[in-house]
Amino acid sequence: MAYGLHPFITPDADGAIGEFGGKIDHPALKTALQEIEDGFHAMIQDPSFIDEFKLLRETYVGRPSPIYHARHLSAGGAQIYLKREDLNHTGSHKINHCIGEVLLAKKLGKKKVIAETGAGQHGVALATAAALLGLECEIHMGEVDIAKEHPNVSRMKILGAKVVPVSFGAKTLKEAVDSAFEAYLGDVQNSMFAIGSVVGPAPYPEMVAYFQSVVGHEARAQFQAAYGCLPDEVVACVGGGSNAMGMFNAFLDDQDVRLVAVEPAGEGLDKPGRHAASMTLGKKGSLHGYRCYYLQDENGEPAEVYSIASGLDYPGVGPQHCHLHDSGRAHYESADDVQTLDAFMRLSREEGIIPALESAHAVAYALRRAATQPKEHRILVNLSGRGDKDIDFVIAKLGL
C-alpha cells in the first residue's frame, strides 16, 4: 500500500504548513521535539519499521477496515458509504497513530509515553499500544473528566497505565495538557510526549497525519475496486483533525472529489461558548505552540468551547486543515447537537451501527447533503469510532 503525506500538507524545515503550524520556542522542549522529529523521519525510511507497523495494523488493529454501503440511509437521495474505523481494535481511528507513536518512543530508547486525555479516548488507545509494545504509560486527566468518564479510566488502569489526576484550574483538558507537558519536561531523557491529534508544534501534525494516512490510502483503493470510480465527496468530523486528515490526504490530487470536514455547532453557532466551530468562527493566532485558527475571547485567549461529543471539544484545529481551508481545497461545515443525535439514532436503527457522537456529526452532514443530491452522487463518510462510550448519555438525553 502506498504510504506517506501529500507535499501540500507536509511542513517545511521550520515546521510551517503555509502560514500555519511551526516549531516550539521553549528552549528545553525545542531540543526534545527535534529529537522526536529526527527519529520520526529516520524511522519512516526504515524497512523494518514499515514491516512491523504493517503487521500490527493487520493482525492487531484489524486493518483494512471495510467500506460499507449504507443503503437504508441512502434511500432519500445520494448514496452514503461508511469507512468503518469503528471496527478497529479499541473502537476508533486513534489506535492508528498511537501504535506509530509508541513504536517511535521505543525506537528512541524511551521507557515511557506521556499524554493528556479529555474524554479518555486517546488515553485508552495509547495505554493499549504501550501495553502491546512494553512501555510505561502516564496519562494526565482532569478530575472533572475522571469523574465523568469512569469506564475509560478503568480501562486505562487495567491496561497498566498510570492515570494522573489534575486538580487545578477548571480540572479538564486544558489543565491536563499543561500538567502532561510539565511531567514530560521533567523527564525528556526517558519519556516521549504523545499528542492525540494533528495539533501542537512540529513534528506532531506531520507525524500523526502520516500514521493516519493509511485510512485514506485504503479507502481510495477500496472504493475504486468496488465501484470502479472515486467518491464525489469525502466527509469526516473534525476536532483537532486527525481522522479527517487521514482520509483527505489520499484524495488531495483528485480535484473532482469534494472534501468536507464537519465541526460541532453544538447548541448553535450564534451561542459563544456553546459550540466548537474553530474553523468557521475562529481567528488566526498561536495556540499551544503552533499557528492555527482558534476560537478566541475578547483578549485573544482560547475561548470556552462545548460539544456533545467530548472528542471534538477543542478550541483550535490542526495547521494542515487551516492551510486546506485557506486554499479552498477542503470545505468546513458544521452539524449541531440536534442533527447529530438524529444521525446517531438513524444509523443505529436503520443500519444497526451505533456510531461515536463525534462520527455522528459527519453522518449528520452527509444525510443533509444527500437530500440535495441525485441518487448517482456518492458520499464516503469516515466513521471514526463506535458509540459504546456514548450510550448512557444518549439514553439520558433522549429520555429513552
Ligand X SMILES: *Cc1c(COP(=O)(O)O)cnc(C)c1O
Where on the chain is the footprint of ligand X (CB under 6 A)? 92, 94, 121, 197, 237-243, 311-312, 356, 358-359, 384-385
Shortest Å distance, C-beta 186 to ligand X: 27
Residue among 242, 334, 359, 384 flagged as catalytic: 384
* Least Å from the CB of residue 361 to ligand X: 9
Query: Which is nearer to ligand X, 32 or 173 (by Cβ)?
Result: 173
> Residue 150 corresponds to which cell in the numbers above?
469512569
350 catalytic residue (yes or no): no
**Of the listed 65, 74, 85, 94, which one is catalytic?**
94
384 is annotated as an active-site residue: yes
- The nearer residue to ligand X, 188 or 292, going by C-beta atoms, is 292
Nearer to ligand X, 40 or 211 (CB): 211
Query: Minimum distance between the CB of residue 118 and ligand X, rounded to whole angstroms?
Result: 8
Which of 241, 289 has the CB closer to ligand X? Answer: 241
Catalytic residue among 116, 149, 233, 333: 116
Residue 167 annotated in active site: no
Q: Which residues contact 116 (CB under 8 A, 6 or more apart)?
A: 122, 139, 140, 141, 173, 176, 177, 179, 180, 196
- CB-closest chain residue to ligand X: 385
77 vs 92, which CB is nearer to ligand X? 92
Q: How far is the CB of 86 from ligand X (least distance, A)?
A: 7
Q: How far is the CB of 144 from ligand X (least distance, A)?
A: 18
Supply the minimum distance, in Å, between the C-beta of residue 225 and ligand X. Answer: 25
Shorter beta-carbon distance to ligand X: residue 44 or 279: 279
Residues tagged active-site: 94, 116, 384
